[in-house]
Chain A
Amino acid sequence: MNIVVCVKQVPDTEALIKVKADGSGIDEGGIKWVMNPYDEFGVEEALKLKEKNGGDVTIVSVGPARALETIRTALAMGAEKGIHINDPALEGADAYTTASALAAAIKEIPHDIVFCGMRAIDDDAGQVGSILAELLGIPQVTVVTKLEVADGKATAVKAIEGAQLVIETSLPCVITAAKGLNEPRYASLPGIMKAKKKPVDVKDAAALGISVAAKAKIVKMMPPPERAPGKIVGGEEAAEKAAQLVKLLREEAKVI
C-alpha cells in the first residue's frame, strides 16, 4: 500500500508570535518550528496502516529550507522517503497554490491513500486537503477520527455536531486527520539516525510545472487588540457589590 502524508511546518503553539512592523507576516526570529499537530495524526495513521498492510509512506511538504527538519521528523517516526517542495515563489503561498504543488508531486507517485491534517494551526484555513482531493480527482473524507482500510476501500468516522458519520469510500482517497484519530508516536533514537539516510527529493515549481500565481493573498496582518484592564467592583456589602456587578455587566459589558 502506497501512502502519502502532507505535512506543514508551523510555529510551536507556545511560540511568542510577533507581527512584522509592515504587517506583511510574522517575525520568524527566535521561533521554534514544529510539525503541524494535525499532520502528526496523519503520519501516525499512515505508519499504522503500513505496519498492518505493508507498503511505504512518503512525506510531502511545501516550505523553505527549514521545512526539511519537519520531513526528517516524520522520517524518524518511520516514514520511508520525502519530497520537499522548496521554491521562494511558494513562500506564503495560498491554499490553492500549495494544494496544486502537492497535487503535482503526488500525481507522479503511486498513492492509495493521502493524509493531510484537517487544518494547520498557523493560518487555520483548513482548505488544502479538500482542494488537493479535487485536483487529484479522488474522493475525500475530512475531519476523520477513526479509520479502517480493507478490501480496497476505506471506512472513516467523522464527528459532527451531536453525532458521528460513518463514511465509506473507494481508494485512492484523501483523508484529513482530526484529534482523536490516534496518539502519535515519538521518534526513537535509532529512528533519528536512520532518518538521516532516507532519501528526500527536492523539487521547485518549475520541476512540478505549476503556476505560482496566488488566488488569495494576505492584505495585512495585525496583532489582536490589547486586552483592556479589568475592573474591581467596589462597595461595602455583598448585595451592593452584586448590584454594581449586574449594572456593569448589563450596561458596560453588555453581556446580560
Chain B
Amino acid sequence: MNTLLSEKHRAIRKAVRSFCDRELTPIAAAIDQEARFPWEAIEIMGKLGYFGIQAPTELGGAGLDSLSYVVAVEEVSRSSGAIGLTITVHNSVAVHPILSFGTEDQKNRWIPPLARGEKIGAFCLTEPNAGSDASAIEATAIRKNDCYITNANKVFVSNGGVADLCLIFARTDPGAGRKGISVIVAERGTRGYSVGEPEDLSGMRANPVCSIRLYDCRIPLENLLGKEGAGLQIALETLDTGRLGIAAQATGISQAALEASFRYARERQQFGTSIGSHQAVQGMLADMATMVDAARLLVYRAAILRDEGKPFSREAAMAKLYASEISTAVTDRAVQIHGGYGYSKAYAVERYYRDARVTRIYEGTSEIHRMVIAKGILEEYP
C-alpha cells in the first residue's frame, strides 16, 4: 500500500499514526458517545501542525504537499472520523481558500492563528433550501458604507460549534443570479452572529455540526474573500480540494474497519475454528482489502496530480465518489463479520459504520459526483 510513498511520506504516516494511536484512538469511542469536541487533543494537534498542514511555514503552517495531507487525514480518520472531519474541513475549505483567494493582508491576519489551531475555520454554503444546488442560496450581504449587512441561515456547518472564522456564501448582488454570490468571512463574536445547538447526528458525533445564523451582521468590507460575484467559482475550486480530504477521510475509516475485521476474524471461534478460516468470511475480507487499496490509490493519484500542478478535478471527484461508496460497503461488511457484536457499541466497527455513511453525502453527494464525472467525459466525446 505504500509503493507510491517516498521516505518523507512514510515518515509522515508513521508520525501521525503514532500520535493518533496514543492520543485519539483511546478517546474516540467516548467522544463519539458524549458528542464531545476533545479540546485537549485538538490543542496538541494545533501545536504539531495539523491545522495548517499545507499552509506555508512563513505563515505558521507545516508547508507539506497534498500527498502528505491525504496521508495525514487518512491516519487521523483511521482513529476518529469526527476529528478527521475537523482537520479536513479546517484545512481544505477554510485555510485553503483563504490562501488561494485572500489578499496578503487577509492571509497575514487569518492564516497564522488558523494554522496553529488557535482559531478554527468553517465553510458555510448549505442552507435549508440550498444543498447540491449551491446557486439557490438565499443569504444576502448587502454593501452599505464600510460593511456588508449580512443575513444568513447556514445549516449543517461542520466545526460550526467551535468555529472562530466562517466562510459565508451570500448574495452581494441579489439581482445577478449565479454571478451575484460572494464569500464573506464572518468572525465569531461579531454582533448578530449566533450558533445553533449541535445537530444530533448519526455519526461524526464528536464534531460540533451546527447551524450558523447571521442577523443584520455588519461585516467589514475588507472581509470579502476574492472579488464580489466570485463566490461560486471559489466554491467549486475549494470543493475540488475538499473532495480530496473527504476521500482520504473515508479511506481512513475503511482502513480502520478492515483492520478490526482481520483481527476479529482471527480471534472469533465458531465451529471449532477461527471464522477467518471460512471461505465466506475470507471472500468478504479479500473484497474489503481490495476496495480499500483501490480507494487509496485513487486518492494518491489525485493528490499527486495536484502536487504536480496538473488538473485534478475529475480525479478528485472519482476518488471522493469511490472512497465514500466503498467506505459504506467496507464498514457494512465489517459489521457483518463481527455479527451481533458488530451491531453493538462494544466494538468500534459500529461507529465506523455510522461515520462512513455521511461521506457519500457531504462535500458533494455521490449523485452529484457521478453527474460531474460523466459530463466531463461526455464533453471529450463530442
Contacts and interface: CB of A to CB of B under 8 A. Distances in A.
Contact of A73 (B15, B16, B61, B72): B15
Interface residues of B, number: 23
* B interface SS class: helix
A34 B72 CA distance: 19
A250 interface: no
Contacts of B63: 190, 193
B12 A190 contact: no
A188 B62 contact: yes
Interface string B228-251: 000000000000000000000000
Contacts of B44: 186
Contacts of A34: 18
A5 interface: no
B49 A186 contact: no
Nearest to B49: A189
A73 B14 CA distance: 10
Nearest to B48: A188
Interface in A107-127: none
Interface string A228-244: 00000000000000000
Contacts of B16: 189
Interface string B25-65: 00000000000000000001001111001000100011110
Given A193-B8, A196-B8, A186 B15 contact: yes
A189 B12 contact: yes
A76 interface: yes
Q: Could you say which of B15, B16, B48 has the most chain A C-beta atoms within 10 Å of its C-beta?
A: B15
Interface in B166-187: none
A190 B62 contact: yes
Contact of A190 (B8, B19, B49, B72): B49
A200 to B, nearest CB: 13
A138 B241 CA distance: 57
A240 B72 CA distance: 60
B136 interface: no
Contacts of A104: none
Nearest to A72: B11
B53 A189 contact: yes
A192 interface: yes
A189 B12 CA distance: 7
A1 interface: no
Interface residues of A, number: 15
Nearest to B16: A189
A190 B62 CA distance: 4
Contacts of A76: 11, 15
A245 interface: no
B15 A187 contact: yes
Contacts of A187: 15, 48
A34 B68 CA distance: 21
Contacts of B68: 189
Q: Could you say which of B7, B12, B19, B48 has the most chain A C-beta atoms within 10 Å of its C-beta?
A: B48
B15 A192 contact: yes
Q: Could you say which of A76, A187, A191, A196 has the most chain B C-beta atoms within 10 Å of its C-beta?
A: A187
A196 B11 contact: yes
Nearest to A195: B11
Q: Could you say which of A34, A188, A191 has the most chain B C-beta atoms within 10 Å of its C-beta?
A: A188
Interface in B181-204: none
Given A186-B44, A186-B48, A192 B19 contact: no
Nearest to B10: A69
Interface in A56-108: 69, 72-73, 76
A120 B97 CA distance: 48
A34 B21 CA distance: 13
A73 B16 CA distance: 12
A193 B64 contact: yes
A195 B62 CA distance: 13
Nearest to B12: A192
A178 to B, nearest CB: 20
A189 B50 contact: yes
A190 B15 contact: no
B312 to A, nearest CB: 22
A152 B57 CA distance: 36
Contact of A186 (B8, B11, B18, B57): B18
A195 B7 CA distance: 12
Given A186-B44, A186-B48, A192 B18 contact: no
Nearest to B65: A193
A69 B14 CA distance: 10
Given A76-B15, A196-B8, A189 B47 contact: no
B11 A190 contact: no
A192 B11 contact: yes
Contacts of A69: 11, 14
A76 B53 CA distance: 16
Contacts of B11: 69, 72, 76, 192, 195-196
A188 B7 CA distance: 16
Nearest to B47: A188
7 contacts: A73-B15, A188-B47, A189-B12, A189-B49, A193-B63, A193-B64, A196-B11
Given A189-B15, A189-B50, A189-B53, 13 more contacts: A69-B11, A72-B11, A76-B11, A76-B15, A186-B44, A188-B48, A188-B62, A189-B16, A189-B48, A190-B61, A191-B49, A195-B11, A196-B7
Interface of A: 34, 69, 72-73, 76, 186-193, 195-196
